Amino acid sequence: MRALILVMDSVGIGMARDAELYGDHGADTVGHIAEACARGTADNDARKGPLAIPNLVGLGLGQACRLATGRVPPELGGPVHPRAMFGCASELSKGKDTSSGHWEIAGVPVPFDWGYFPRTRPCFPEDLVERLCEETGVIGIIGNCHASGTEIIHELGERHMQTGEPICYTSADSVFQIAAHEQTFGLERLYHTCAVARRLVDPLNIGRVIARPFIGSAAAQFKRTAHRRDFSVPPPERTILDLAADDGRDVVSIGKIDDIFAHRGTGRNKRGDGNDALFDCTLEAINDLKDGGLLFANFIDFDTLYGHRRDVAGYAAALEQFDRRLPELLLRLKANDLLIITADHGCDPTWSGTDHTREQVPILARANDRTWSIGKRGGFSDIAATIARHLGLAPLAHGTAF
């Protein structure tokens, strides 16, 4: 008896009930991608035609979309009675941040408001910048604004390599991001700079400081690497990871999960460069996961490579590739394992701007032959509550098992 949580980062299925408060009324990541594919506007050299994700549809994704929005996206109708439990959930936590979404999935909604930086230029407080430079020895910073990570590296990367000034920027999330060249600035130096920044932004209640290393010799060749690290504050309460670790269970985290939870209760960590590599890590971990164990994986490409970049065709191709690999995972499940596939927020690639979108998320739960609708859940914490019951762990403070 084991449990697995797979987070398809940003794969939302329709606006949350409070989406208008976040400027996201009408956002629908999966629905709008499927519609674009049906129209042919998501065709490119890599993929063509309607969105083809039969394995996710077979687990109930189309029916989860129906629960969330009242309609099934094109080509996602599938069986009326899928091969799994299916439903959707709205987030209780405030914001649409990675940390909030993952913590709530793990059983800890975030009741407070994160700190955010204003949409001004410069956007960071002057004393914060001065202290960061003083304590790290950099001569200054560049950027100091809201920006897309790939765009700002393209814009300022060459200057950064010449001057040694790190590129600092933020987004609509509660983040302080620092981009630096792996060779000219140095990876360990970047991590040290981020560790200092983490301490300095604590009084501002900033959720994450993110190291964004990149390589390349000129703007046209710059590429972010898999050596990203998130310096997060720890969750304010015990999560399902804490319960499992404290009970001596085998815990494996895949991708950036260990960073999101500030390395608390995350057990053995496996990392990979992109969704395919992360899927490989997940398969390897399933083979070794002991009875009573918990695996928690994040698949980042949907969000980072395609959602934030508003790349509809790329997002569709990533969904299709993830779907093609699902049978490999399903074949490794034991009879009494529980698999839950979900998301942490939306990032509708048809939406304006480059930020996350406040959306409902799918819950697709495979356990033995259970095949019913779990309905519309009032919070992501129902996922953790269900896993706690399945694994025989103590109940969490939040959530209702389905």
pLDDT in tens, 231-270: 999 999 999 999 999 999 999 999 999 999 999 999 999 9
Mean pLDDT of 26-30: 97
Rg (CA), the chain: 20
Extents of the domains making up the chain: 3-112+236-391, 126-232
Mean pLDDT of 41-56: 94
Contact between residue 339 and residue 366 where contact means Cβ atoms under 8 Å apart: yes
User: String of b and e for 325-343 (b: at least 16 CB within 10 Å)?
Assistant: bbeebbebbeeebbbbbbb
Task: For 334-383, write each residue's pLDDT tens digit.
Answer: 989 999 999 999 999 999 888 899 999 999 999 887 788 999 999 999 99
Residue 131 clears pLDDT 70, i.e. is over it: yes
Give the C-alpha separation, 225 to 300, whole Å: 13
Pairing relation of β-strands 167-170 and 142-146?
parallel
| pLDDT over threshold 70, residue 192 | yes
CATH code that applies to domain 126-232: 3.30.70.1250
Pick from 179, 126, 176: which is nearest to 146 by CA?
Answer: 176
Residue 229 to residue 226: CA distance in whole angstroms: 9
pLDDT of residue 233: 93
The whole-number average pLDDT for the span 9-22 is: 96
| Range in 87-91, 147-151, 305-309, 322-326 with the lowest mean pLDDT | 147-151
pLDDT beyond 80 at 15: yes
pLDDT digits 0-9 by tens, 298-347: 999 999 899 999 999 999 999 999 999 999 999 999 989 999 999 999 99
Q: Which CATH superfamily is domain 3-112+236-391 in?
A: Alkaline Phosphatase, subunit A (3.40.720.10)
Q: What is the C-alpha separation between 30 and 26, in angstroms, rounded?
A: 12
pLDDT of residue 80: 67
What CA–CA distance (Å, rounded) separates 329 from 200?
Answer: 42
Report residue 206 as tokens.
Answer: 């900033």
The Cα 159–Cα 256 span in angstroms is 29
Q: Please give the pLDDT value at position 368.
A: 80
How many Cα atoms occupy the beta-carbon half-sphere of 371 within 13 Å?
A: 9
Closest CA to 370 of 332, 336, 334: 336
Q: 280: number of CA atoms within 13 Å, CB side?
A: 6
State the pLDDT at residue 369. Answer: 76
Residue 172 reports pLDDT greater than 90 = no
Q: What are phi and psi of 89, to 5 degrees?
A: -145, 145
d(CA 392, CA 309): 41
